Amino acid sequence: MDLKRLYSLAPHGLKSVLLNAYSAALYLERYGKSFRNISEQLESTQWYSADEIKKYQDSKLRELVQHAYKNVPYYHQMFNDLGLRAADIRTVNDLKKLPVLTKADIKTNSSLLLSRVHNANSRGMKFGGTSGTTGSPLRVGWSRHMRIFNNAIDWRQKRWAGIEPGEPIVMLLGQPIVQLDKTKPPFWQQDYVQNFLWMSAFHLHADYMPMYVEKILSFRPSAVEGYPSTLFEFAKFLIRTGKKIQVKAVFCSSEPLHKHYRETIEQAFGCKVFDFYGLAERTIFATQCREHAGQHLNFEYGISELLDEEGNDALGQEGVLVTTSLENFGMPLIRYQVSDRTMLIDEPCACGRAMPRMREVVSKYEDMIYRVDGTAISPSILTHPFKLIESINQSQIVQLDAHSILIKIVKADGYNKNDERQLLAAFRARVGEDMQVSVQFFDHLPRDSSGKFRWVINQTTKKTKHLHH
């Protein structure tokens, strides 16, 4: 039996033991000596001048390309086919000699993209999934170093907000922390190792919100982290009932942070919102400093190019994000094209850091799905069941009415009944057992009239009622 299933079946007390044992194991890896060393470096590199940033990235890129040519079959073949040597890529500008890597390329070549040295020593690698909002799941691998580095960058942004490791943080994310059909508190689990209070986002509806408030106040958090749509609903409740949860910072990501979301959340929590952008592909991590003017592209983490339709630098205009990880040597993704569009900000940031900035990505807009009892479920939460199911080429979620949801699927090779059972079980755990969920297969899924693909569509009129305020 796997750990997730064991956890889901365990009673509350045992869940707490399991969660803390798991957290303790992770802690050794993610907060150990390497973490402290990397964090210390990141404290100084954040003040690099534009020139130092360029030198840093060029040198790191040469190291990455040499490794990829030598140890990653996909790149070895590509360089040979193009008649290039690793030494031909000397600077960030030289990246344009290489083609863009698409999601489809990764899907077709996922095992060829793994480093032979890292994968031979597979205990160092971990795999996870992303379904993204295009509804096409992707399996990606992270080296041990990548996982630690990711944690260090995450903590640097928290430090920018005045939060240090060990300070209490409330986490309101998509993990099924407690049984969905639970009707009595606790709807949370305390992680004593990291000092996080993991709270179920699924139970956060009007009836239970007073209990959440009480628990959070007694936990006395320094910060709160969650999805914008979830925090927005909660913030509205706090304001409506005249309650305030005063923290130093709120962190959010994965969904667009609309202006009225930000204002409402900042009012309810009495602090600024730090809106960050990251990907499971680990090629880009963009974070906000105290100026809250766009997001800094953490240059140590990866290289971000912004390109126009012809593949040239999109100077002063909106473009497509093409990203290269500088730290994930286990599965190096070079020039990975992200489906999001944004714009670079040219002026230097008032915080004094020279690291480049981009405008917040707003293209990830999706409808909301509602459970039978009317609770809103954010699209980010719905992506979880699709992670790790590689036999799905594309998917779309359509709420037909208050009681039924249709999952549209474009199958890939190897799709089987077992995948479907696993998907449906995980999906129902999030939308509720009283929701009718059906699956239908398609050859392709069309885009909407604006040319955008919407992963979540709500056909009921309810959403206008709820999203309007």
Nearer to Zn ion, 273 or 368 (CB): 273
Nearer to Zn ion, 298 or 325 (CB): 298
Nearer to Zn ion, 86 or 351 (CB): 351
CA angle 400, 403, 408 (to 5 degrees): 40
Quote the CA–CA distance of 130 and 384 in Å, as a whole number. 8
CB of residue 47 to Zn ion, shortest distance in Å? 11
351 near Zn ion (CB under 5 A): yes
Among positions 284-303, residues that touch Zn ion (CB under 5 A) are 289, 291
What phi and psi, each to the nearest 5 degrees, are found at residue 464? -65, -40
Nearer to Zn ion, 98 or 289 (CB): 289
CB of residue 153 to Zn ion, shortest distance in Å? 15
344 near Zn ion (CB under 5 A): no
Q: Are 68 and 335 in contact (CB under 8 A)?
A: no
CB of residue 160 to Zn ion, shortest distance in Å? 8
Q: Which stretch binds Zn ion (CB under 5 A): 172-180, 198-206, 350-358, 453-461?
A: 350-358
Nearer to Zn ion, 53 or 204 (CB): 53
Nearer to Zn ion, 180 or 351 (CB): 351
Nearer to Zn ion, 350 or 402 (CB): 350
- Strands of the sheet with 285-287, listed across from one edge: 277-278, 285-287, 295-297, 357-358, 344-345
349 near Zn ion (CB under 5 A): yes
Quote the CA–CA distance of 26 and 32 in Å, as a whole number. 10
Nearer to Zn ion, 289 or 377 (CB): 289
Q: Which stretch binds Zn ion (CB under 5 A): 123-131, 260-268, 344-352, 457-465?
A: 344-352
Quick note: the x/- pattern for Zn ion over 155-194, rule CB under 5 A, is ----------------------------------------
CB of residue 350 to Zn ion, shortest distance in Å? 7
CB of residue 225 to Zn ion, shortest distance in Å? 20
Nearer to Zn ion, 104 or 350 (CB): 350
Contacts 24+ apart (CB under 8 A), 58-65: 58/90, 58/91, 58/92, 60/300, 60/326, 61/89, 61/91, 61/92, 61/95, 61/303, 61/324, 61/326, 62/86, 62/89, 62/90, 64/324, 64/325, 64/326, 64/329, 64/332, 64/334, 65/89, 65/334
Quick note: the x/- pattern for Zn ion over 247-286, rule CB under 5 A, is ----------------------------------------
The footprint of Zn ion on this chain (CB under 5 A) covers a number of residues equal to 5
CB of residue 325 to Zn ion, shortest distance in Å? 23
CB of residue 253 to Zn ion, shortest distance in Å? 17
CB of residue 60 to Zn ion, shortest distance in Å? 22
Residues that bind Zn ion (CB under 5 A): 289, 291, 349, 351, 353
